[in-house]
């Protein structure tokens, strides 16, 4: 199927990239996964507009782009509340709406969260590299949105006003507590340091980004063994470099690294981290792998169910 122009970029926003659920299968060659930072908001956006959950969308950071529709399209904005507007008229988050040819989608003031997703019914036409359409600037794959560029897609008119139940819409707090599965480098931390880690409240540093969230606390997290053999770093892995200030590794992380890791943020809590602006507060509590996986299974069921309900809605 041929793609056609769907958006003209008037303003690109500060950091707008194409993301799907990332590159799977190439970490053994050193290639990062990349992909959407907030996989919950990302998947919900696609479900709402009637796409498959892994359809490439735009990830917007803090200051949104200004885009002019070049065809009739149906979109949904999920994630951070950045006050979406069409021709200056406010539009709801977490709900589908229609854009006619010539309509201008823009964003207003920043309310909560950091990253929003623009999902378009039919999806965008973006080159597939290593089985994914995610932008990974450091690896030379794609770039941030360019001013005056034209974005192509496969426009489809879908039902407008399809919204998410209120109780499923997350609120993005700036002081959060997230669950952590301890390990795997247990021998690099004394047991009292591990206990201390869960009593501390960390501050999010301004140089946090898609690669990692840098945290700080006046008292450092002590390590007893820094020289470990490099191994795979998961999304949410919390590494502790020699300066004792932890870093939570995020979507654009390098796939392997050599700093000891005290634990991993559970996957259902990662969207909360991805939506934390600088100066936010974060603390951690330990959880068993069994309990964490119960939450993952529950969320997966929920997403499958939402997808099925959406599929059975009439298209207009």
Partner 1 sequence: MNFTIDPVGDTGIRISFNENVSSKLIYKIKMFCNYLENMGNDAIIELVPAFDSITLYYKPYVSTYKQLSTQIKQLEDIPLHKENVISRRLTIPVLYGGEWGPDLERVANQNALTVSKVIELHQKPNYLVYMLGFLPGFPYLGGLEQRLATPRLDKPRDRTPPGSIGIAYEQTGIYPLESPGGWNIIGKTPITLFDIYNKGDEFLFRAGDYVKFEEVTAKKFSSIEEKIVEKTYKLKIEEEFYE
Tell me: does residue 140 bind partner 1 (CB under 8 A): yes
For residues 113 and 257, which CB has a smaller minimum distance to partner 1 in the complex?
257
For residues 95 and 139, which CB has a smaller minimum distance to partner 1 in the complex?
139
Contact 127, 133 (CB under 8 A): yes
Tell me: does residue 296 bind partner 1 (CB under 8 A): yes
Nearest approach, Cβ of 194 to partner 1 (angstroms)? 15
Q: What is the CA radius of gyration of the chain?
A: 20
Contact 250, 146 (CB under 8 A): no
- CA–CA distance, 104 with 65 (Å, rounded to integer): 10
Q: What values do phi and psi take at 182, rounded to 5?
A: -70, 155
Site string for partner 1, 236-255 (x = CB under 8 A): xx----------------xx
Tell me: does residue 297 bind partner 1 (CB under 8 A): yes
For residues 108 and 242, which CB has a smaller minimum distance to partner 1 in the complex?
242
Peptide bond preceding 134 in cis form (omega within 30 of 0): no
- CA–CA distance, 11 with 25 (Å, rounded to integer): 35
Tell me: does residue 289 bind partner 1 (CB under 8 A): yes
Q: Residue 225: exposed, middle, or buried by beta-carbon count in 10 A (0-12, 13-18, 19+)?
A: exposed
* DSSP symbol at 197: H
For residues 83 and 205, which CB has a smaller minimum distance to partner 1 in the complex?
205
For residues 100 and 300, which CB has a smaller minimum distance to partner 1 in the complex?
300
Tell me: does residue 36 bind partner 1 (CB under 8 A): no
The closest of 50, 42, 3 to 19, measured between CA atoms, is: 42
- DSSP helix/strand/coil, 16: coil
Nearest approach, Cβ of 31 to partner 1 (angstroms)? 4
Rule CB under 8 A: choose which of 234, 244, 277, 307 binds partner 1.
234
- CA–CA distance, 44 with 50 (Å, rounded to integer): 10
Tell me: does residue 76 bind partner 1 (CB under 8 A): no
Q: What values do phi and psi take at 175, rounded to 5?
A: -140, 110
Distance separating the N- and C-terminal Cα atoms of the chain: 22
Residue range at the interface with partner 1 (CB under 8 A); choices 21-29, 52-60, 163-171, 197-205: 21-29
Rule CB under 8 A: choose which of 41, 181, 250, 282 binds partner 1.
181
Other beta carbons less than 10 A from residue 276's beta carbon: 23
For residues 92 and 242, which CB has a smaller minimum distance to partner 1 in the complex?
242
Site residue total, partner 1 (CB under 8 A): 44
Tell me: does residue 27 bind partner 1 (CB under 8 A): yes
For residues 60 and 249, which CB has a smaller minimum distance to partner 1 in the complex?
249
Interface ranges with partner 1 (CB under 8 A): 24-32, 129-130, 138-141, 181, 183-184, 229-232, 234-237, 254-257, 264-268, 289-290, 292-293, 295-297, 300-301
């Amino acid at each position: 199927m041929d793609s056609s122009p769907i958006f003209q970029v008037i303003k690109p926003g500060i950091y707008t990239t194409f993301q799907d659920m990332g590159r799977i299968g190439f970490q053994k060659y050193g290639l990062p996964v990349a992909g959407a930072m907030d996989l919950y908001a990302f998947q919900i956006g696609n479900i709402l507009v009637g796409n498959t959950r892994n359809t490439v969308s735009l990830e917007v950071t803090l200051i949104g782009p200004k885009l002019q529709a070049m065809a009739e399209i149906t979109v949904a904005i999920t994630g951070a509340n950045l006050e979406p507007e069409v021709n200056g008229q406010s539009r709801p988050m977490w709900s589908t709406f229609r854009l006619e040819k010539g309509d201008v989608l823009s964003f207003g003031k920043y309310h909560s969260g950091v990253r929003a997703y623009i999902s378009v019914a039919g999806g965008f036409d973006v080159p597939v590299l290593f089985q994914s359409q995610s932008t990974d600037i450091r690896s030379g794959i794609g770039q941030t949105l360019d001013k005056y560029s034209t974005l192509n897609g496969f426009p489809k008119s879908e039902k407008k006003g399809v919204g998410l139940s209120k109780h499923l819409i997350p609120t993005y707090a700036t002081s959060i507590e997230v669950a952590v599965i301890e390990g795997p480098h247990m021998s690099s931390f004394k047991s009292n340091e591990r206990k201390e880690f869960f009593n501390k409240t960390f501050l999010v540093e301004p140089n946090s980004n898609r690669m990692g969230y840098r945290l700080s606390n006046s008292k450092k997290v002590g390590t007893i063994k820094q020289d470990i053999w490099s191994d795979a770093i998961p999304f949410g892995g919390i590494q502790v470099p020699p300066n004792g200030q932890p870093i939570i590794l995020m979507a654009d992380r390098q796939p392997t690294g050599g700093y000891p890791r005290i634990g991993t943020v559970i996957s259902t809590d990662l969207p909360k981290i991805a939506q934390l602006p600088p100066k936010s507060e974060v603390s951690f509590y330990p959880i068993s792998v069994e309990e964490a996986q119960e939450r993952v299974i529950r969320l997966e069921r929920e997403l499958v169910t939402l997808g099925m309900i959406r599929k059975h809605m009439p298209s207009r």
